[in-house]
Chain A
Amino acid sequence: MTDAPLLPLFILLTSLLASPVLFALPERAARLRTAINLGMAGVKLALVAWLSLKVAQGVIYDLRFEVLPGLEFKLQADPLAILFIALSAVLWLITTVYSVGYLEHGPHRARFFGFFSLCVAATVGIAMSGNLFTFLLFYELLTLATYPLVIHRGNAEALRAGRIYLIYTLAGGLVLLLGTLGLWVLAGTTDFVPGGVLADVVAQNPRAAQALFVVLIGALGVKAALVPFHAWLPIAMVAPAPVSALLHAVAVVKAGAFGIMRVVYEVFGIETAQALGVTAPLAMLAAVTILYGSLRAITQDDIKKRLAYSTVSQVSYITLGVALASPIAAVGALAHLIHQGLMKITMFMAAGNLAEGLGVKRVSQMDGVGRAMPGTMLAFTLAALAMIGLPPLAGFVSKWYLAQGGLAAGQAWVIALLLGSSLLNAIYFLPMLHRAWFRDAAPEGAGAPGRPRIGWMLAAPPVTTAVLVLVAGGFANAPFSPLEWTRFIVAIEYQE
């Protein structure tokens, strides 16, 4: 009963077609621009909701056409795709509101929102890619669409950061091209199929398969900020706050993590990958990244840098959950894809509000900001506590499943790792909260109490996402919660 077989295409087109319109709008047409932005984001959310319902009912969407002989451009809407699209649709709407407020009087808004839309379209494309070839198309589009956002301020520092960002991501893209070609030549297909497509290749030529794994994960690891490919992420922090928020929560790092999921589950297949002996090294790499990111976060005074290193660490939870090769850990990984997005976007929007409202950009300036901006800081606090893993917040749910999965996979070290990481999270987040709530503001200076003037468009979004953090954790077992949906996916990937 596919009454609307083109639904995935429409979802892609909402933001893809909005983009050229937004580019062409004159700078002063702010109202119209906002109306288009919010309208399209709303339409997309509605379409995604419809699509999710259909997919939950078992409808299969599959759109394809041939680009080269045998090689297809393919869109599909499997439950894993829905998970990612739903995240991006919800957060796009919220971030759009925030961006409109943030850039109200800034320059080049037409350009900003044009690329912003393109970036969201790329994310949706990545989610719905039915094969690695299509994934590659959108992965590169994402790089190209985010670069102008990263250097939006257009000054020397932004350009330097942009250059580093571009070098990392385009080099990663080139390696991904190599890996995609390798997959195509070895397997004759690049389709994402639960259980993988490489079983025969692995049996005949395990060396080539291992090399392919290294190439693909290395390429995706750049965007997923796996150590040692993570250096661009803290540098890209010069981007405007809504861009950072989107980059960290949905777009870039998530695209990498999502790609790793697709590769491990649907290119190699979890059993094949395990048999090939590549999951254990990947888990180790993720573990190293988790610890390294947290350790580096402790010493950062710049708030956004601290958050960025925290992202390096937190995103690798996803990779860890995938690499542990246990269904329970997979539930944790997938749920964390959503949970980390909600938590991190809250924190980045809150950090943006501190900078906008009070001029506070460093941890050492945070004294007393809680009283000056209670709503924003309440949201920040909630997200930070969730990151640390306080039950019943969202972060706790992810960590709980990861730990259980580690046990189930006979990898007890994971528990130590998670405890250590939570401790480190606490070490770098709690002092921020302490300063914000329990210290008096310096009489003058950046954190001085006054009436911070931020509009509702800046104030409301972090509070909204913080509420979502609360809901996703507290009602984790409700139908259509991220966790429930995740179980549905894992049953497919593990072919149960």
Chain B
Amino acid sequence: MSVELSPMILAIFLPLFGAIAAFIAPRAAWSIGLATLAATTGAVIWLARDVWAKGAVMLPLGGWGAPLGIDLRADGLSVAMLALTSAVGFLVSIAALDSLKDAARQRQYFWPLWLLLLTGMNGVYLSTDLFNLYVMIEVIALAAVGLTVLNGTRDALRAGLEYMYASILGALLFLMGVGFVYLHLGRLDFAGLAGAEVSGSLIAAMALMFVGLALKIALFPLHFWLPAAHANATAPASALLSGLVVKAALYIVLRLAQYMPFPSETLLTLVGLMGAGAVIWGGIQALRAERLKLLVAWSTVAQIGLIFVAFARAGEMGLTESWKAAALLILAHGVAKAAMFLAAGRIKDEIGHDVIRDLDRAPIRPTLAQFTFALAAISLIGLPPSLGFIGKWSLMEGAMAAGYWHWVAVTMAGTLLSVAYFSRVLTAFLRFDRVRAPVGEHQGWALADAAPLTLALAAIGLGLMAAPLLSFIEIGYPFGVAQ
């Protein structure tokens, strides 16, 4: 039986071939990269149309089907994640054209690594069994560590090493969990998991996998590697790492919660508490950060925490709805954080440094990049009408309806903290009395601002399209299958 051409296969293998081609032909890497991204985006659009028309689609590779063979499956949630990855990835690539134009070595490795990363992420979003997921997160880790150390600075290398240790440990834990599941059930496909009886060893396996993923997501208190890694990478790499990479592991958590009998209320509360810890601790560290990119990285720690708070917002019974709030926040953060890191990179490039305290001394004000940063901050704080706001609204609505007021309180505290740390930066943009030289107008406007600005505007505008977005995510109703 021949394998028919499917958008799912294209979404995984196009970037893989692109990565190889870009590695072989470094001079043409950027054109190969952009062409691959365009083609992959096309495949995702094709897939989205299929899913929109027919509901969730399944593709047995090699004609065997689970549990023996490998299945690929796409439902609303996976297509949403694929679309996020392609769209954000495409815009980040365009921004990378400009920001890496003077760095030949970085350019040489950026494209193969990024395309490899894309392969891994698309693979995660289409996988239907645990071993496949493990392989894909290893691919992601390999590429992501490479992107972290791309600029070759000392700080980046050190951060990259830490990231690698965390990543390997995380993958190992995940693999152990997968092994336990296999010993216990004899199969690794999602359908097999969904039918399994809850037992002690299954819960232990689940816990192992969760801790492994938490390391990769950088969920508090396992976040130690993230701030340095994301802050020291080169701007487009930071945007990919913060906006997209952590989302792959987050997505796996959502999937596992869907197919595996979820452990008790207590464990869910624990997950929520870790999220709350991240919201508070990430916020406090962002308040203390001295550099712009470090502040943005700490804000990622806090935002990841918020996603877990959303996940736990209404307890075990509410999980069939709560994942949607988490998914909205994942999408919102992906778009807004990519925009923010790119904008921060632009600001750093134009001003020459990113020391927050001295931003208002600069006679150059890259206004468009600053405006982009402000828009992204609006979404991350969760001010209307951004997608971040809608995500937060869903979080608080569910928590309130279920009477879980502590999650409402955590969310509000997190919002205030994010206002406080972002306004440190935004105020500096608007302050002029510490500049000695006259400030020119409309300086630092460049075509390179177009991509981050587009992302930031999308983060704001998507909030008004949340209803169709939600109904799309629900296609194939990812949750409730197990119930």
Q: Which positions in A face B, CB cutoff 8 Å?
A: 23, 26-27, 65-69, 73, 107-108, 110, 136-137, 140-141, 144, 148, 151, 154-156, 159, 162-163, 166, 170-171, 173-174, 177-178, 181-182, 184-185
Whether A166 lies near B423 (C-beta < 8 A) is yes
Chain B contacts for A65, CB-based, 8 A: 464
Whether B378 lies near A174 (C-beta < 8 A) is no
Whether A184 lies near B378 (C-beta < 8 A) is no
Chain A contacts for B416, CB-based, 8 A: 170-171, 174
With A166-B423, A185-B401 given, is the CB distance from A67 to B433 under 8 Å?
no
Write the nearest CB–CB distance from A53 to chain B, whole angstroms. 30
With A68-B393, A68-B394 given, is the CB distance from A178 to B441 under 8 Å?
no
In the complex, whether B466 has a CB less than 8 A from a CB of chain A is yes
Chain A contacts for B439, CB-based, 8 A: 107
Q: How far is the CA of A23 from the CA of B433 in the complex (A)?
A: 21
Whether B384 lies near A166 (C-beta < 8 A) is no
Q: How far is the CA of A277 from the CA of B466 in the complex (A)?
A: 38
Partner of A67, one of B378, B408, B430, B463: B463
Partner of B470, one of A68, A148, A173: A68
Known: A107-B439, A141-B384, A154-B433. 11 other contacts (CB 8 A): A27-B441, A67-B466, A68-B466, A68-B470, A73-B464, A140-B383, A144-B383, A154-B430, A156-B433, A162-B427, A184-B397
A and B contact pairs by CB, cutoff 8 A, 26 listed:
A26-B441, A27-B441, A27-B442, A67-B385, A68-B467, A68-B470, A69-B470, A73-B464, A110-B441, A137-B384, A140-B383, A140-B384, A148-B430, A151-B427, A151-B430, A154-B430, A155-B432, A159-B430, A162-B427, A174-B412, A177-B393, A181-B396, A184-B397, A185-B397, A185-B400, A185-B401
Q: Which positions in B face A, CB cutoff 8 Å?
A: 371, 378, 383-385, 390, 393-394, 396-397, 400-401, 408, 412, 415-416, 419, 423, 427, 430-433, 439, 441-442, 463-464, 466-467, 470-471
Whether A177 lies near B427 (C-beta < 8 A) is no
Q: Is the interface of A mostly helix, strand, loop or mixed?
A: helix
Chain B contacts for A171, CB-based, 8 A: 416
Q: Is the interface of B mostly helix, strand, loop or mixed?
A: helix
Whether A137 lies near B430 (C-beta < 8 A) is no
Chain A contacts for B470, CB-based, 8 A: 68-69
Whether B467 lies near A66 (C-beta < 8 A) is yes
Chain A contacts for B390, CB-based, 8 A: 67-68
Whether B427 lies near A163 (C-beta < 8 A) is yes
Whether A178 lies near B408 (C-beta < 8 A) is yes
Q: Which residue of B lies closest to A139 (CB)?
A: B384
With A140-B383, A140-B384, A144-B378 given, is the CB distance from A181 to B412 under 8 Å?
no
Q: How far is the CA of A137 from the CA of B385 in the complex (A)?
A: 6
Counting from the closest, the 6 A-B pairs by CB-CB distance are A154-B432, A137-B384, A155-B433, A66-B467, A27-B441, A185-B400
Whether A26 lies near B384 (C-beta < 8 A) is no
Whether B430 lies near A170 (C-beta < 8 A) is no
Chain B contacts for A156, CB-based, 8 A: 433
Q: Which residue of A lies closest to B428 (CB)?
A: A159
Chain A contacts for B431, CB-based, 8 A: 151, 154, 159
Q: Which residue of B lies closest to A73 (CB)?
A: B464
Q: How far is the CA of A278 from the CA of B136 in the complex (A)?
A: 60
Q: How far is the CA of A26 from the CA of B396 in the complex (A)?
A: 43
Chain A contacts for B371, CB-based, 8 A: 23
Q: How far is the CA of A162 from the CA of B427 in the complex (A)?
A: 9
Chain A contacts for B442, CB-based, 8 A: 26-27
Q: Which residue of B lies closest to A184 (CB)?
A: B397
Chain A contacts for B384, CB-based, 8 A: 136-137, 140-141
